[in-house]
């Protein structure tokens, strides 16, 4: 899955904006948004918020968790915990990135937030790498991945399933090649225990 | 300004009723009315499942038809709006998102059809009409594609091979690796899912996430008890 | 087999290597190479048939490794040849998505006749599939290839351009280094001409 698709999916998250215009509700296919009243907060999908913000038609209200103290706590908790802690949003990276890039002015202490969020992501990524390493060495084929967000899952998507598939393939090949070598001997009736003549199968499929 | 918005609202309401009607015709008497929003959700899930599953999944012809008419209908309603009208732009943006989901979904299916053509055709031949995975349009495309591909390989190469050497070259059957690992999210509680070769069992709680060989959970996807992520 | 000191399968492997290394959309169909591989397949096969009957009647087990070896060479030749054709087929399909139903002339020259037919057939099948989707409502799968970002894009003006009128009548002054948020469709040409620069 392309990263742009992860972002696309994350853009469905609802976020609060304060419009500077008024309008009746809009009946979108995925559901209604609005009414919009200048100066009053209203929830809209992230993709719409980003668009309105770029057109200077609204201010984005950062989600509650996009606040320095909260994020510092999350970071400490993530450090302490052996397992992955539950993130405040399933798309916390996508939301944070999009909000901070479209409207840094709407986010108090934006630069500090950016650093903490990056720290949290890095702590989780390194945890992820360690557990994958253990998982593969333990020759597992199944694991529970609770509290990992889509982006994090995506960050291991090419490598983890791929290596597991390869290991499984080698295991199958090892079994199959044992079979093959025993079959090769089939024709040489004396030396090997085979009974069936193979030579014809060389020329007919 | 508010006049055309009203028109849009009215139309939306009637479209949802139409959708319900269309759905009920197709399905049996106990079918619930379905909203455009629900159709979109079903398509979105089908799309992500299709992207993540190694094999071709069940087609969603009914849902696609409903959504295509909904989109066409919306475009019709938008014709009277100014191109830079706030409402026009927002509706247009949403339609682009929906069009992307639908086209990406169908492209993903075509790609599988082109890769596993013969394998899929063989499987389809053995399936009851209600279990077909290909839509009638896809089935036609798959059949044509197989023919064209065969023609090409035959004209350029296999016809010049010794006849005993052609068989496997002509078949070229590519099959998906059903044991490839996928990421899964449980939609509901499922108990006793076998997760390993040694029959190890696990109970899935709603919302829990797992990595697991596809084949072990293929039926959960089909029944919408879990989805791929 | 007198002239057979070169390795079996070399030519077949070359076919693949050349295709892989080529930086063109699709290099010219290697008519000569394909023919040589097919001849090698045929030659190996015939020798093996001859010796297999010899082997079957005489039971001379010393022939066994040679039969095996030739068989493996034959399989490898087939495999490389089919891989070569398969990869070309993938590229031919990709061209349909990239260029539409008409192949540019310079590329067409690289295709052999069956490949041109393959392209045309694929093109027709795909078009009729796309028209038939959704009970004949149709959908163009060759557009909307990427997740939509925005109907509008942010651009920076690279040089003084002057007034630019948008479809809705709004007039924008494009001055060097000024930044604007404008409908993507309407400014695409200016972006291609390098007057505007798309900024993320």
| Residues A82 and A128 both lie in one domain | yes
The β-bridge partners of B227 are B185
- Pairing of the two strands C152-157 and A143-144: unpaired
A-C CB pairs within 8 A amount to 32
Task: Tell me how far apart the alpha carbons of residues A55 and B157 are, in angstroms, rounded to a whole number.
Answer: 59
Number of domains into which chain A is organized: 2
Which tokens sit at A196? 């069936």
**Would you place residue A181 in the very low, low, confident or very high pLDDT band (cuts 50, 70, 90)?**
low
Report the pLDDT value the prediction gives residue B17, as an integer from 0 to 100.
Answer: 40
Examine the fold and report which residue of A61, A81, A101 is the final residue of a domain before the chain moves on.
A61
Percent of chain B at pLDDT > 90 equals 56
Q: Give how far Cα A27 sits from Cα of B35, B36, B39, C122, C175, Å.
A: 12, 11, 15, 40, 38
Domain C152-198 has CATH 3.40.50: no
Please indicate, yes or no, if residue A190 is contained in any of the structural domains: no
**Would you place residue A186 in the very low, low, confident or very high pLDDT band (cuts 50, 70, 90)?**
very low
Q: Is the peptide bond between A35 and the residue preceding it cis, with omega within 30 degrees of 0?
A: yes
Residues of chain B contacting C85 with CB distance shorter than 8 Å: 152-153, 156-157
Cβ-nearest to B152 among C89, C141, C148 = C89
Mutate one of B90, B109, B157 to test the C interface: name it (highest C CB count within 10 A).
Answer: B157
**Would you place residue B176 in the very low, low, confident or very high pLDDT band (cuts 50, 70, 90)?**
very high
Higher pLDDT: B17 or C36? It is C36
Asked whether the predicted pLDDT for residue C2 surpasses 80, the reply is no
**Overall average pLDDT of the C171-186 stretch:** 83
Which tokens sit at C119? 């392209």
Task: Tell me how far apart the alpha carbons of residues C168 and C186 are, in angstroms, rounded to a whole number.
Answer: 11
Give the E-state strand segments of chain C in sequence order: 152-157, 162-165, 171-174, 179-183, 196-199
Interface contact C139-B104, CB threshold 8 A:
no
Determine the residue of chain A that is closest to C47 in CA distance. A203
Look up the domain containing A20 and give its range.
7-61
| Residues A47 and A70 both lie in one domain | no
Determine the residue of chain C that is closest to A53 in CA distance. C181
Q: What's the pLDDT tens digit per position in B49-76?
A: 999 999 999 999 999 999 999 999 999 9
Print the SS3 string covering A124-142: HHHHHHHHHHHHHHCCCCC
Task: Tell me how far apart the alpha carbons of residues C68 and A201 are, in angstroms, rounded to a whole number.
Answer: 12
Q: What Rg, from alpha-carbon coordinates, does chain B have? A: 22
Determine the residue of chain A that is closest to B194 in CA distance. A142
The answer to whether A94 contacts chain C (CB < 8 Å) is no
Determine the residue of chain A that is closest to C152 in CA distance. A51
Give the E-state strand segments of B114-225 in sequence order: 181-186, 190-194, 201-204, 209-213
The answer to whether A55 contacts chain C (CB < 8 Å) is yes
| Residues A130 and A165 both lie in one domain | yes
Interface contact A55-C67, CB threshold 8 A:
no
Domain boundaries, chain B: 34-159, 177-228
Interface contact A145-B210, CB threshold 8 A:
yes
Task: Tell me how far apart the alpha carbons of residues A185 and A190 are, in angstroms, rounded to a whole number.
Answer: 10
CA distance B137 to chain C (A): 6
| Mean model confidence pLDDT for chain C | 86
Q: Of A92-101, C122-131, C190-199, where does mean pLDDT reach its minimum?
A: C190-199
Q: What is the ipTM of this complex?
A: 0.83
CATH code for the domain defined by C10-132: 1.20.58.1030
Which tokens sit at B112? 């599988």
Spatial CA neighbour of B197 closest among B210, B184, B179? B179
Report the pLDDT value the prediction gives residue B25, as an integer from 0 to 100.
Answer: 45
The β-bridge partners of A90 are none
Please indicate, yes or no, if residue A198 is contained in any of the structural domains: no
Report the pLDDT value the prediction gives residue B138, as an integer from 0 to 100.
Answer: 96
Task: Tell me how far apart the alpha carbons of residues C91 and C89 are, in angstroms, rounded to a whole number.
Answer: 5
Residues of chain A contacting B8 with CB distance shorter than 8 Å: 27
Q: Of B87-101, B138-152, C149-163, where does mean pLDDT reach its minimum?
A: C149-163
Task: Tell me how far apart the alpha carbons of residues C137 and C100 are, in angstroms, rounded to a whole number.
Answer: 20
Domain B34-159 has CATH 3.90.1330.10: no
8 Å CB contact between C11 and C33: yes
| Residues A51 and A72 both lie in one domain | no
Report the pLDDT value the prediction gives residue B31, as an integer from 0 to 100.
Answer: 58
Print the SS3 string covering A108-173: CCHHHHHHHHHHHHHHHHHHHHHHHHHHHHCCCCCEECCCCCHHHHHHCCCHHHHHHHHHHHHHHH
Mutate one of A11, A98, A199 to test the C interface: name it (highest C CB count within 10 A).
Answer: A199
| Residues A31 and A86 both lie in one domain | no
Interface contact B161-C132, CB threshold 8 A:
no
Three-state DSSP state, B165 = helix
Interface contact A146-B209, CB threshold 8 A:
yes
Please indicate, yes or no, if residue A88 is contained in any of the structural domains: yes
Higher pLDDT: A7 or C198? It is A7
The β-bridge partners of A61 are A16
8 Å CB contact between C37 and C77: yes
Report the pLDDT value the prediction gives residue A192, as an integer from 0 to 100.
Answer: 34
Helices B86-115 and B117-125, axial angle in degrees (round to 10)? 90
Which CATH number belongs to the domain containing residue A52 in this structure?
A: 3.40.5.50
Residue C71's φ and ψ, nearest 5 degrees, are -60, -45
Determine the residue of chain C that is closest to A203 in CA distance. C49
Residues of chain B contacting A138 with CB distance shorter than 8 Å: none
CA distance A191 to chain B (A): 29
| Residues A18 and A91 both lie in one domain | no
Q: What's the pLDDT tens digit per position in C89-142?
A: 999 999 999 888 988 888 889 999 999 999 999 999 999 999 999 888 899 998
Domain boundaries, chain C: 10-132, 152-198
- The predicted model scores a pTM of 0.84
| Residues A108 and A170 both lie in one domain | yes
**Would you place residue C1 in the very low, low, confident or very high pLDDT band (cuts 50, 70, 90)?**
very low
Interface contact A28-B94, CB threshold 8 A:
yes
Spatial CA neighbour of C42 closest among B188, B160, A151, B106? B160
Cβ-nearest to C146 among A4, A188, A202 = A4
Q: What kind of architecture, by CATH, is found in domain B177-228?
A: 3-Layer(aba) Sandwich (3.40)
Report the pLDDT value the prediction gives residue B83, as an integer from 0 to 100.
Answer: 74
Question: End-to-end alpha-carbon separation of chain A, Å?
Answer: 39
Spatial CA neighbour of C53 closest among A199, B35, B50? A199
**Would you place residue B14 in the very low, low, confident or very high pLDDT band (cuts 50, 70, 90)?**
very low
């Amino acid at each position: 899955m392309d990263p742009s698709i992860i972002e696309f999916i994350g853009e469905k998250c609802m976020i609060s904006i304060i419009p500077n215009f008024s309008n009746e509700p809009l009946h979108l296919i995925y559901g209604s948004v609005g009414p919009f009243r200048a100066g009053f907060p209203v929830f809209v999908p992230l993709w719409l918020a980003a668009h309105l913000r770029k057109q200077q038609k609204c201010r984005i209200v950062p989600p509650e968790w996009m606040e320095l103290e909260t994020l510092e706590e999350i970071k400490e908790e993530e450090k302490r915990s052996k397992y992955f802690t539950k993130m405040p949003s399933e798309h916390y990276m996508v939301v944070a990135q999009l909000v901070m890039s479209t409207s840094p002015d709407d986010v108090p202490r934006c630069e500090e937030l950016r650093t903490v969020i990056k720290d949290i992501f890095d702590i989780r990524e390194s945890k992820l790498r360690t557990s994958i390493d253990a998982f593969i060495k333990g020759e597992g084929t199944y694991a529970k991945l609770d509290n990992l967000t889509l982006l994090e899952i995506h960050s291991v998507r090419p490598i983890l399933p791929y290596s597991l598939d390869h290991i499984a393939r080698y295991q199958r090949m090892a079994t199959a090649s044992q079979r093959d070598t025993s079959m090769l001997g089939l024709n040489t009736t004396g030396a090997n225990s085979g009974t069936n003549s193979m030579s014809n199968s060389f020329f007919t499929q | 300004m508010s006049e055309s918005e009203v028109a849009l609202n009215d139309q939306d309401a009637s479209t949802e009723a139409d959708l319900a009607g269309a759905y009920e015709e197709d399905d049996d008497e106990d079918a619930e009315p379905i909203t455009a929003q629900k159709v979109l959700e079903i398509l979105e899930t089908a799309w992500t499942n299709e992207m993540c599953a190694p094999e071709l999944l069940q087609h969603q012809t009914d849902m696609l038809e409903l959504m295509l008419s909904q989109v066409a209908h919306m475009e019709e309603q938008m014709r009277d709006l100014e191109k830079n009208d706030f409402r026009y732009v927002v509706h247009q943006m949403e339609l682009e998102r929906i069009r992307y989901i639908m086209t990406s979904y169908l492209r993903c299916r075509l790609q599988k059809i082109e890769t596993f053509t013969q394998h899929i055709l063989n499987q389809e031949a053995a399936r009851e009409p209600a279990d077909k995975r290909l839509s009638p349009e896809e089935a036609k495309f798959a059949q044509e594609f197989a023919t064209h591909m065969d023609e090409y390989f035959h004209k350029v190469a296999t016809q010049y091979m010794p006849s005993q050497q052609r068989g496997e070259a002509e078949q070229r059957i590519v099959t998906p690796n059903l044991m490839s690992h996928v990421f899964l999210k449980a939609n509901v509680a499922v108990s006793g899912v076998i997760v390993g070769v040694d029959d190890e069992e696990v109970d899935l709680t709603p919302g829990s996430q797992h990595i697991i060989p596809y084949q072990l959970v293929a039926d959960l996807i089909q029944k919408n008890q879990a989805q791929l992520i | 087999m007198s002239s057979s000191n070169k390795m079996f399968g070399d030519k077949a492997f070359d076919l693949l290597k050349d295709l892989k290394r080529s930086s063109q959309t699709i290099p010219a169909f290697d008519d000569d190479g394909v023919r040589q591989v097919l001849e090698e397949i045929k030659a190996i096969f015939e020798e093996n048939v001859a010796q297999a009957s010899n082997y079957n009647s005489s039971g001379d087990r010393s022939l066994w490794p040679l039969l095996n070896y030739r068989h493996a060479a034959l399989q490898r030749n087939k495999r490389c040849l089919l891989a070569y054709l398969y990869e070309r087929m993938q590229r031919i399909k990709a061209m349909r998505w990239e260029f539409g139903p008409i192949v540019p002339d310079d590329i067409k020259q690289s295709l052999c006749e069956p490949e041109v037919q393959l392209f045309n057939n694929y093109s027709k099948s795909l078009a009729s599939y796309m028209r038939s989707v959704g009970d004949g409502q149709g959908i163009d799968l060759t557009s909307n290839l990427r997740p939509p970002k925005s109907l509008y894009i942010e651009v920076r003006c690279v040089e003084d351009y002057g007034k630019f009128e948008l479809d809705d009548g709004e007039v924008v002054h494009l001055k060097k280094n000024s930044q604007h948020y404008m409908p993507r469709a309407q400014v695409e040409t200016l972006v291609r001409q390098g007057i505007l620069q798309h900024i993320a």
